[in-house]
Amino acid sequence: MLEIKNLHASVDGKEILRGIDLRIGDGEMHALMGPNGSGKSTLSAVLTGNPMYEVTEGSITFNGKDLLSMKPEDRAHEGLFLSFQYPVEIPGVSMTNFMRAALNGKRRYHGEKDLTAAEFIRLMKEKRTLLQLDNKLANRSVNEGFSGGEKKRNEIFQMAMLEPKLSILDETDSGLDVDAMKIVADGVNSLKRADTSCIIITHYQRLLEYLQPEIVHILYKGRIVCTGGMELSRRIEAEGFDWVRNAD
Amino acid sequence: MSNELIRQTVEKQYEYGFTTDVHTDIIGKGLNEDVVRLISQKKGEPEWLLDFRLKAFRHWLTMTPPTWGHLKLPEINYQDISYYADPTVKKPQRTELDPEVEKTFEKLGIPLEERLALGGVAVDAIMDSVSVKTTFKEKLQEKGILFCSFGEAVKDHPDLVREYLGTVVPYKDNFYAALNSAVFSDGSFVYIPKGVRCPMELSSYFRINARNIGQFERTLIIADDDSYVSYLEGCTAPMRDENQLHAAIVEIIVKENAEVKYSTVQNWYPGDAEGRGGVFNLVTKRGDLRGNGSRLSWTQVETGSAITWKYPSCVLRGDNSVAEFYSVALTNNYQQADTGTKMIHIGRNTRSTIISKGISAGYSQNSYRGLVRATASADGARNYSSCDSLLLGSNCGAHTFPSIDVKNPTAVFEHEATTSKISEEQLFYCNQRGIPTEQAVGLIVNGYAKDVLNKLPMEFAVEAQKLLSVSLEGAVG
């Protein structure tokens, strides 16, 4: 699915990622943890092609294709999805228009016809029900006036609509109450298939208990310093990151 | 902005920039009393109308162009323009319309054959100085509705024209209004009788075709007591390197409990990416809400013209009258727009609303200018104004010049204004969902303008949305 080799990236001339190596296979779920400023969000930004970040060295292959040479929208069409840590508000643009532009864009990229209005509305309804979003969603402006929890559920709703191959959940659990977290986790689990993969960036154990990732990485100062199973995340929950810092 | 985007922009320019090769009778360049007489004579006008023109012309000679607009308007040589061009003069025998003219309007998406017409829209098609065809005239006449070219109205309904012409926009009103009053050629005339609800949308489509001509159309709409009409106006012009002058007047009279909706999608040729050519759109539009309980709304989507100087206004004379102004003005490249409205509250308990959305890109300058006034008699007058500006890029300008003048202590006027930019975060969010930047800008701008676009009739709203996106191609990269 994804292979990152010796990835270095900087923002405003400051190097944040300092040699990341990471392989994610089909159907795998990986958790990415690490103290603030370790480069977790930078990695998700670089993967999705955010122009604020500059890749200075290394390569990323996504399903056999050179990801770094692709435009952000083509990366999305190829099946890469980011659930934003801070979803952006777009006043006046309805979720319907927004999702239709996104979904039909992807369909055209793959040589498929646009969905008809009826097909699209049916799909929206099916997916929003999964995330327990009400029928007002269709006409609401993208993220405008959404509560923190609604914004995060709306991210996973979009993920459900676009059916990505690789999803990155960047602190999707932060700011969620217990009930909302369960909705989000159930949503993510129900979208899981043998050929889809997931990177979960989080500080907390709770979401990981719901999602049960096979592999946990710890990122520190722009490098993956430790890889293991859920025992790593449990240790962080119990002890914090001091032992990672001390080992450095 | 990437080279690819620049290339796309240059290639996908103005869609309506073609010219029509049709025999056109154009009078010589220049302006004097003889030219005014010649126009009047060509149109076979009665003496009183020639008098009106001559008075206006003599007054115009004493005036100077207004300079208060936030515009760099080059000096116009009024002797270097032709004031009358007639493309219908040499039509083939026994056909109603020159096929070339008919094809032109077909290409513009305005079929002049009634059986092909857009559902529920009657059209008055005006090319250069002459109305070439008005559709559904007979059908409307069954209800007593008069919809014809201004020239025909002068011949067939002289009393109505004489009673109302110049009563909303007097020829002394301003420099361009005086010029128009002297040399106006054709335009549309609408009369809706008492108690009649016009069953179709009425529309005028203005097309400038000939070179070096000025278009001076004049539209007069009268809505008698308890009547209703929705009126649409569209305009395009060929791409030419030299500027073209368009100085129009629209007068609307709204009587007791009558309602008029006037919608414009203005897409005159805006000039090229370097600012060469384009139409100077210098227009006076005003509605007089004479009757108690009368209503008038102006909705405009302005994307074209090199220079726009235009303030569709309302005089709220009747008690309880209601006026609205909804505007989206988009400027790109080197376009300049100074546009807004005047709301003059005279009657009691009159209400007005102003929603203005300016969008500036490229090196353009976009100004909102508005006046809200309550005279001493305007007890309980209310106004709400909201003026938003959206900037795309850092080389363009957005300006707001609101003025409020209140002579009545019971009047309540509110004004809100915002300026915003499309953020990198918004664009990247769209990109990440698979929406390319160009399309994202179109979506965001349409979202920003939604409150105004929603006021347009359906067919127009769809056109306007496309127009906003196309006009911005390449504006952000």
Contact list, A75 vs chain B (CB under 8 Å)? 432
Q: For B286-337, write each residue's pLDDT tens digit.
A: 999 999 999 999 999 888 888 999 999 999 999 999 999 999 998 888 999 9
| Residue numbers in B near A48 (CB within 8 A) | 432
Report the residue of B2, B328, B386, B433 to disrupt the A interface, i.e. the one with the largest count of A CBs within 10 Å. Answer: B433
Backbone phi, psi, residue A71, to 5°:
-70, 155
pLDDT of residue B466: 73
The rounded mean pLDDT for chain B is 85
Q: Find the helix or strand (DSSP H, E) in which A120 lies.
A: helix A117-130
A18-70 residue pLDDT tens: 999 999 999 999 999 999 999 999 999 999 999 999 999 999 999 999 999 99
Q: Give the nearest partner residue to B435 out of A49, A92, A105, using CB atoms.
A: A105
Of residues B236, B245, B241, B244, the one with CA closest to residue B304: B236
> CB atoms < 10 A from the CB of A44, how many?
23
Q: Has residue A212 got a pLDDT over 60?
A: yes
- Among B432, B441, B446, the residue to mutate for chain A (most A Cβ within 10 A): B432
Summarised one tens digit per residue, pLDDT across range B73-119 is: 888 899 988 888 777 665 555 456 677 777 777 776 666 666 555 55
Nearest to A158 among B433, B450, B451 (CB): B433
Measured distance CA(B460)–CA(B119) in Å, rounded: 12
Contact at CB, B431 and A72, closer than 8 angstroms: yes
Task: Please choose, from the candidates B5, B438, B421, B425, the residue with its C-alpha nearest in 3D space to the C-alpha of residue A51.
Answer: B425
Residue bearing the bigger pLDDT, B346 or A131:
B346
The distance of B449 to chain A (nearest Cα, Å) reads: 8
Contacts of B73 (CB under 8 A, 6+ apart): B65, B280, B307, B309, B336
- pLDDT for B246 equals 87
DSSP conformation class of B139: H
To the nearest whole Å, the CA of B451 is away from the closest chain A CA by 8
B435/A88 CB distance under 8 A? no
- The single-letter code of the amino acid at B135 is T
- CB-based contacts of A69, cutoff 8 Å, min separation 6: none
* Rounded mean pLDDT, A144-171: 94
Q: How far is CA B401 from CA A113, B303, B394, in A?
A: 48, 20, 20
Mean pLDDT of B121-129: 73
Chain B residues touching residue A52 (CB < 8 angstroms):
424, 428
Interface test with B, best of A50, A84, A93, A154 (most B CBs within 10 A): A93
The minimum CA-CA distance between B105 and chain A, rounded to whole Å, is 31
| B175-183 helix and B47-61 helix, angle to the nearest 10 degrees | 150
Q: Which of B371, B307, B319, B302 is nearest to B343 (CA)?
A: B371
- What is the C-alpha to C-alpha distance for residues A57 and A60, in angstroms, rounded to an integer? 10
A108 near B CB under 8 A = no
Lookup result for tokens 């363009």: B396
Average pLDDT value for chain A: 93
Model confidence at B354, pLDDT cuts 50, 70, 90, reads: very high
B194-224 pLDDT, tens digit each: 999 998 888 887 777 666 677 888 999 999 9
Task: Quote the minimal CA–CA distance from B419 to chain A in Å.
Answer: 14
What end-to-end distance do the CA atoms of chain B give, in Å?
4
Distance separating the N- and C-terminal Cα atoms of chain A: 30
CB contact set of A43 (below 8 Å; sequence gap of 6+): A7, A9, A17, A20, A32, A219
Overall CATH class of domain A2-91+164-247? alpha beta
Q: What is the spatial distance between Cα A77 and Cα B153, in angstroms, rounded to a whole number?
A: 59
Q: Which residue of A has its CA nearest to B437?
A: A73
Of B262 and B237, the structure prediction assigns the larger pLDDT to B262
d(CA B472, CA B1): 13
**Which A positions 135-164 lie with beta carbon below 8 A of chain B?**
141, 158, 162
Q: Are A127 and A134 in contact (CB under 8 A)?
A: no
Which of B5, B429, B444 best tests the A interface by mutation, with the highest count of A CBs <10 A? B429
Q: What is the pLDDT of residue B11?
A: 37
Mean pLDDT of B340-362: 95
Tens-digit pLDDT profile for residues B276-287:
888 889 999 999
Taking the domains of chain A in order of start, what are their residue ranges?
2-91+164-247
The reply to whether residue B434 touches residue A73, judged by beta carbons under 8 angstroms, is yes
Question: Do B443 and A84 count as a contact with CB atoms less than 8 A apart?
Answer: no
Give the closest residue to A87 by CA, choosing from A73, A98, A101, A103: A98
Task: Look at A245 and A23; give whichever has higher pLDDT.
Answer: A23
Q: In angstroms, what separates the C-alpha of A92 from chain B's closest C-alpha?
A: 4
pLDDT of residue B7: 35
- Chain B contact set for A94 (CB, 8 A): 447
- Nearest CA among A35, A34, A46 for reference residue A5: A46
A141, pLDDT greater than 80: yes
Across chain A, the runs of DSSP E, i.e. the strands, are 2-11, 14-24, 29-33, 54-62, 65-66, 80-83, 90-94, 141-142, 166-170, 197-201, 215-220, 223-228
Token pair, residue B432, equals 């990440």
Whether residue A106 is predicted with pLDDT greater than 50 in this model: the reply is yes
Closest-CA residue of B relative to A78 is B434
Which tokens in the block code for residue B235? 């305009």
Whether B429 and A106 lie within 8 Å, measured CB to CB:
no
* Cβ–Cβ below 8 Å for A48 and B432: yes
How much of chain B exceeds pLDDT 90, in percent? 50
The larger pLDDT score, comparing residue B15 to residue B382, is at B382
Q: Which of A27, A2, A32, A24 is nearest to A192 (CA)?
A: A27
Helices (H), B250-351: none
Q: Tell me the two tokens of residue A127.
A: 């997916």
Asked if B85 and B129 count as a contact pair (C-beta separation under 8 A), the reply is yes
Contacts of A73 in chain B (CB under 8 A): 431-432, 434-436
B431 → chain A, closest CA residue: A73
- B436 with A48: Cβ contact below 8 A: no
CA distances from A109 to A74, A157, B377 (A): 8, 21, 63
Please answer yes or no on whether B431 and A71 come within 8 Å at the CB atom: yes
Q: Which of A111-115, B128-132, B436-440 has the lowest mean pLDDT?
A: B128-132
- Tell me the C-alpha distance between B274 and B161, whole Å: 43
Q: How far apart are CA B305 and CA B314, in angstroms?
A: 23
Spatial separation of the C-alpha atoms in residues B7 and B89, rounded to whole Å: 41
pLDDT of residue B25: 74
Name the CA dihedral angle for A57, A61, A65, A68, rounded to a multiple of 10 degrees: -30
Bridge partners of residue B406, in order along the sequence: B374
Contact between B433 and A98 using a beta-carbon 8 Å cutoff: yes
Task: Residue B429: list chain A partners with CB under 8 A.
Answer: 84, 87-88, 90
